[in-house]
Amino acid sequence: MTGPEKEALEVLTPFLGDELSKDIISHRRGMKAPLTARGARSLIKEYQKTGHTVAAAEMHLNRGWRGFDASWFKQPAKFADPHNPTPRGDMAAFTRNLMENYHGDTAMDDAGKGGSND
């Protein structure tokens, strides 16, 4: 661990614990964006804005992000990936709508089971 990374570890550890702090530093090193003490203070500030410091840090790490903004944690439902448009809400209604648009009518009854088209 480099000097700046040791300083970053000293900043992160009181808030996140030793293991999670080391994981974040290692993650940033792997991204070729080593974490400094200043960057660590900025991350902690954003994590604390969420009200769930450890959970925010875990989200940051698990999603593979270089940085973190508290608004990403507070409003996860508003996050949309244009390369993966996953439907939200009632899956049965989504499926009926999909079937109507594809087949021109619905081939499912209200219980979501295939009905007869007599």
Distance CA 113, CA 83 (A): 31
Q: Please write the tens of the pLDDT for every residue from 24-53.
A: 999 999 999 999 999 999 999 999 999 899
CA angle 48, 54, 60 (to 5 degrees): 90
Question: What's the token pair of residue 90?
Answer: 């009632």
SS3 2: coil
Name the pLDDT band for 6 (thresholds 50, 70, 90): very high
Distance CA 65, CA 81 (A): 14
Region 59-63: mean pLDDT is 91
pTM for the model stands at: 0.60
Lowest mean pLDDT among 28-32, 52-56, 85-89: 85-89
Q: What is the DSSP string of 39-96?
A: HHHHHHHHHHHTT-HHHHHHHHHHTT-SS--HHHHH-GGG---TTS----S-HHHHHH
